[in-house]
Amino acid sequence: MIDKHLSTIDRRRLVKPSAYGGLVIILFLLPLFIKSPYWLHIFIITFVFIIATVSLRTIVISGQFPLAHAAFMGIGAYASAVISKELGWSPWLTMLLGGLVATGIGVLIGYPFARLRALYYAMVSLFFGVGILQVFSVFQKWTGGYSGLMGIPRLLPAATSKLPYYYFFLGLTTICLLALYRFEFCRIGMALKAIAQSHQVASSVGINEARHRVLSLAVGCFFVGLAGAAYAHYNLTLSYTSFDMLATLWLFMYALIGGIGSFAGPIVGTAVLFIIPELFRGLKEFLPYLSAAILFIVVFAMPQGLVGLPQLVRLWFTELRKRVTHAS
């Protein structure tokens, strides 16, 4: 009996890894069936924002709400693009530098405010995001100002189609998600969730609140900066308005609709809000209204987000079966 129970637990543990592995295989084979450059571009942008949204959740699990997360994406993008363009360095090196620059600035700014919580931290991060945009606009010589930065070196100069970029961003997204998943479910990630639940209880058992929150900020900023840097060398042009507060709010929207309480939630939310509107391209101008309607439905009917929909459906069927049984 015990052996049977253990085998059931082992099978359950294999469900998620098998599902994720199957999804990666499907995405790897997808270009065999979808050859449109436009759709490959949509998937590439989706991969970029999946990294950004999941890295946002890495900070949120500590109980903080960074309203300047997109600004750090811009820091990574501009740092990598400017260094590569002005100094002639390889984008493969400057992408990592972009992530490290975003991390360094995040830690430098975040450390003095690590003990601020909830609304206070959100307001400080909001002001910082506005300040970063002003910096981008002031240093027009390097950032291009309102006109945007152009002439960014290509990541894959030999590529004649979007297919190599598709596989690059698929691989980058897979590696980043594995790293972020490992971080969240290691001892540090558990400590961050404990701090979010009650910082007083966490401190009473020896968890350093400030240190752990700065660490989560550093990790989140590195990956969103890396995503921004990779995007810069793919898109080849940058506009600082792409990294304003509205962009951060969209990241929160993706996470909330997918289910911010689950690691898979931001992935699902980002994919749905990027890909589904493209299937109804004629209605794309109504996307903000559609997203708002989906958000209201999720908040009131699906507290766990879209990722919790299968469990909700099972509960509905179970309840319906009980009613039918009682009626008969």
In the chain, what are the domain boundaries?
Answer: 1-33, 39-327
Give the pLDDT band of residue 11 (cuts 50, 70, 90): low
Across 9-13, 230-234, 254-258, 317-321, the highest mean pLDDT is recorded for 230-234
Report how far residue 197's alpha carbon sits from residue 60's, in angstroms, rounded to the nearest whole number.
12
| CA angle, 298 then 301 then 303, to 5° | 65
pLDDT band per the 50, 70, 90 thresholds, residue 295: confident
pTM for the full model? 0.91
User: To 10 degrees, the CA torsion angle through 61, 261, 193, 201?
Assistant: 120
| Topology classification of domain 39-327 | ABC transporter involved in vitamin B12 uptake, BtuC (1.10.3470)
DSSP state of 152: P
pLDDT, tens digit, 9 for 90 and up, residues 266-285: 999 999 988 887 877 766 67
